[in-house]
Structure 1
Amino acid sequence: MTLLDAPIYNAARAKRNRNIIIAIIAVVVLVAVTGFLGFLTGHGWFFATVPAEHRVNKFLETVEAKDFTKAYGLWNNDADWQKHPEQYKLYDFDQFQKDWGPSSDYGVIRSHQIAITKAVGNGTVMGVNINGGKTPLFLRVDDKTKQIGFSPIELYVGP
């Protein structure tokens, strides 16, 4: 094949190839910006903590509804915890009710707001303001087991 035997220009194919290249560049830029924003905000990848936040929101909404049996199942990620309560001796249902029921440090829990969230190690730590409080309670969701627990790590919320 010589230069004079070049194939005929196919406008549709050229347009498709151009659109594919533009789409690839846009995806690369979007991933880079999202990762950079996540790095700046301390969230790792930008939306990596959303499932854990959703889990804690669901748990606290259940506590607000005073459905402590279901809330304890969410805490342990075990809806059938009543069939084998001996697995949860370290933090049993009675202690859970003391910590989250009306006699807790917060009284009756009526509202909550997640103030800060950060992926730390193999879990997600978040500070939650209970009943409009100014000092957050720090909870942790394990990435593997999806269990909620009190966090030994406290995040800096600011002045």
Structure 2
Amino acid sequence: MTLLDAPRFDEAKDRRKRVIAYSCVAAFTAAVILGWIVSGFPIDWPWHWFAHMRGRSEINTFLTDVEKNDMAAAYGVWIHNPKWQQQNAPDQGYTFARFQEDWSPTSHDNDYGAIKHHDIAAARFAGNVLVVGVYINQRKSKPLFLAYDPKAKTLSYSPVELYLGP
């Protein structure tokens, strides 16, 4: 076969290849944007987006249980063991009694009083944990900063505070 014997250019095949390529790029872009929206518009790397989504969900579940005054369920979310009462698991240092002292609406150690409402204001990764800033009782107090560990799936108090604006 010589250069002058080249096959004819197939316009339909070329158009089909272009449509497939553009469709794949558009589908990938749409999937990335949808993932970003579903995970809560995080300002972080895409491989952290699932941890953002999971962490915000866990903290929302935890605070909803505290609002309902269901301390046993809230403690199960805190230590990532919903069946903690049936399993005589060894104590991890943060006991249920201490947890009730910190989160009960009648406790003297609870800085926020009875928690009736919460708003998640921001979430950012600091090291290996997701730090989430939460306004308790519609900004009547200083924001609460909780840390979500994506590997252990547990919650803790965060020593890091996020800037949430004036």
Give the TM-score taking structure 2 as reference length: 0.78
Of all paired residues, the percent bearing the same amino acid is: 40
Distance 1:11 1:106 in 2: 69
Matched, 1:114 2:120: yes
The equivalent residue for 2:22 is: 22
Matched, 1:91 2:94: yes
Report which stretch shifted further, 127-136 or 141-150: 127-136
- Aligned-pair Cα RMSD in Å: 2.7
The equivalent residue for 2:44 is: 43
Q: Which runs of 5+ in 1 are unaligned?
A: 36-40
Label 1:47 to 1:94 Cα distance change in 2 as closer, same or farther (>3 A). same
Matched, 1:158 2:162: no
Q: In structure 2, the residue corresponding to 1:7 is in which secondary structure?
A: coil
Q: Is contact 1:63-1:109 (8 Å) kept?
A: yes
Distance 1:60 1:72 in 2: 10
The equivalent residue for 1:131 is: 137
The equivalent residue for 1:52 is: 55
Label 1:42 to 1:93 Cα distance change in 2 as closer, same or farther (>3 A). same
Q: Is contact 1:85-1:92 (8 Å) kept?
A: no
Distance 2:58 2:102 in 1: 18
Distance 1:131 1:31 in 2: 34
Q: Which runs of 5+ in 2 are unaligned?
A: 37-41
Distance 1:74 1:96 in 2: 12
Distance 1:124 1:117 in 2: 7
Matched, 1:75 2:94: no
Q: In structure 1, the residue corresponding to 2:13 is in which secondary structure?
A: helix
Distance 1:31 1:70 in 2: 34
1:87 deviation in Å?
A: 2.4
State the AA in 1 paired with 2:132: M
Paired residues in the alignment total 152
Q: In structure 2, the residue corresponding to 1:148 is in which secondary structure?
A: strand
The equivalent residue for 1:38 is: none
Q: Deviations over 1:17-72 (max 9, x none)?
A: 1023324554479869x99xxxxx74333835122111111111111111111110
